[in-house]
């Protein structure tokens, strides 16, 4: 509602992309192997999202993510379909709709074994995805690098000049008088700072 | 007095033959059961239970971590799709608003009769905002949109 004619929204053609047509228990079942398979694309997309904080600028990376996910599930369907199906149906039937993994350990081990044998995909250790991961990209740094990683979503860009260098600061009246960049006793001498 | 020729027949309540049974008058202390088996059992259950509880906690948090990790693994897929859906909807909303308010004098799309919402610099919402997405929708379609409950906000 707050988008004027001036805001650039991507067109319908730019947003065309095949949908990852997979239900939620199947997504949860294949989540670890999916993140291992599509690691690069996922990291690119999430980095772009965090740095730019603008979905319009990350449409291409999002498309890569979706295509890679579709590719992964197609591969699973071609090789490991049976174990995967038993696993996600078991998760679907877990109590209270939690889809908790501790109800389906056997099926999980069977699927992991199949993935290791046929798809050469090893699931990383249990604590891997909680840790901070580094990513190296060729993508250029966003326009406002001071915004990257800040908790404030859109910190204001203040029109202030650069702070003075130390040599410049030695000529300021504060330095000549005795107050320079925050001393403990600011009013050391009684003198006129500015006229 | 005269006339006591008949004797009344009665039955007297007498002690039984051989006398009464003896009355127990000595002290009889209560039955006692030993306390040490119960105390030792309780202490043993405490000790073993503590270590078992620690292992169970570890197992519980391992399972919780696994679930959280799987959710964060899936997040990029859902976020990409969500972004595309919202961008498509924003575009449709803007076009619809232009169509609706084309005959209202003084109205510019995205503003309140010309005065902009964000005055100094443009702002694009990072995550889907209710008003931007549902701005021109009827309430029944808001309730029917189940997938919006799964959006990463």
Q: Is residue B108 part of a domain?
A: yes
CA distance A50 to chain B (A): 9
For residues B30-57, give the mean pLDDT: 97
Q: What pLDDT, on the 0 to 100 scale, is given for residue B120?
A: 66
Q: Is residue B58 part of a domain?
A: yes
Q: Is residue B83 part of a domain?
A: yes
Neighbours of A42 (CB within 10 A): 28
Q: What angle do CA B68, B72, B78 make, to 5 degrees?
A: 130
Q: Is residue B143 part of a domain?
A: yes
Supply the ipTM of this predicted assembly. Answer: 0.73
**How would residue B143 be classed by pLDDT, with cut points 50, 70 and 90?**
confident
Most confident of B3-12, B57-66, B139-148: B57-66
Q: What is chain B's mean pLDDT, rounded?
A: 89
The residues that bridge with B112 in the sheet, in sequence order, are B115
Q: Is residue B28 part of a domain?
A: no
Q: Do A1 and B118 touch (CB under 8 A)?
A: no
Q: What pLDDT, on the 0 to 100 scale, is given for residue A62?
A: 95
SS (H, E, C) chain B: CCCCCCCCCCCCCCCCCCCCCCCCCCCCCCCCCCCHHHHHHHHHHHHHHHHHHHHHHHHHHHHHHHHHHHHHHHHHHHHHHHHHHHHHHHHHHHHHHHHHHHHCCCCCCCCECCECCCCCCCCCCCCCCHHHHHCCCCHHHHHHCCHHHHCCC
Q: What pLDDT, on the 0 to 100 scale, is given for residue B126?
A: 84
Q: Is residue B11 part of a domain?
A: no
C-alpha to C-alpha distance for B121 and A144, rounded to whole angstroms: 14
The pLDDT tens digits for B77-115 are 999 999 999 999 999 999 999 999 999 998 888 888 888
Q: What pLDDT, on the 0 to 100 scale, is given for residue A168?
A: 81
Q: Is residue B137 part of a domain?
A: yes
- Can you give the residue range of the structural domain that contains B145? 41-151
- What pTM did the predictor assign? 0.73
> With a cut of 70, which residues of chain A have pLDDT below it?
141-161, 163, 174-175, 177-195
Q: Is residue B21 part of a domain?
A: no
- Closest residue to B69, CB basis, from A10, A98, A130: A130
| Residues in chain B closer than 8 A to A11 (CB atoms) | 91
Structural domains counted in chain B: 1
Q: Do A1 and B80 touch (CB under 8 A)?
A: no
pLDDT at B20 over 70: yes
Q: What pLDDT, on the 0 to 100 scale, is given for residue A178?
A: 64
């Amino acid at each position: 509602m707050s988008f004027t004619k001036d805001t650039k929204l991507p067109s319908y053609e730019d947003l065309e992309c095949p949908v990852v047509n997979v239900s939620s228990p199947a997504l949860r079942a294949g989540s670890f192997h999916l993140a291992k398979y599509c690691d690069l694309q996922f990291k690119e997309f999430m980095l772009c999202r965090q740095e730019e904080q603008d979905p319009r600028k990350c449409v291409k990376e999002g498309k890569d993510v979706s295509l890679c996910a579709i590719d992964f599930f197609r591969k699973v369907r071609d090789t490991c379909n049976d174990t995967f199906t038993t696993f996600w149906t078991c998760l679907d039937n877990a109590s209270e709709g939690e889809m908790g993994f501790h109800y389906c350990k056997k099926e999980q081990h069977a699927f992991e074994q199949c993935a290791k044998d046929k798809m050469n995909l090893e699931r990383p250790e249990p604590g891997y995805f909680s840790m901070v991961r580094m990513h190296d990209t060729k993508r250029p740094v966003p326009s406002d690098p001071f915004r990257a990683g800040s908790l404030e979503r859109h910190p204001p860009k203040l029109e202030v000049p650069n702070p003075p260098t130390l040599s410049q600061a030695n000529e300021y009246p504060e330095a000549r008088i005795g107050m320079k960049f925050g001393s403990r006793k600011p009013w050391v001498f009684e003198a006129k700072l500015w006229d | 007095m005269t006339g006591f020729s008949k004797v009344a027949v009665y039955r007297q309540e007498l002690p039984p033959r051989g006398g009464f049974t003896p009355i127990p008058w000595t002290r009889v202390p209560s039955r006692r059961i030993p306390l040490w088996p119960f105390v030792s059992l309780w202490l043993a259950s405490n000790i073993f239970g503590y270590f078992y509880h620690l292992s169970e906690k570890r197992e519980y948090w391992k399972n919780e971590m696994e679930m959280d990790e799987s959710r964060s693994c899936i997040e990029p897929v859902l976020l990409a799709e969500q972004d595309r859906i919202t961008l498509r909807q924003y575009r449709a909303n803007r076009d619809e608003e232009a169509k609706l308010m084309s005959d209202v004098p003084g109205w510019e799309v995205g503003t309140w009769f010309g005065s902009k919402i964000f005055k100094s610099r443009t702002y694009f919402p990072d995550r889907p905002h209710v008003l931007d997405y549902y701005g021109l929708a009827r309430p029944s379609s808001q309730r029917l949109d189940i997938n919006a409950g799964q959006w990463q906000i």
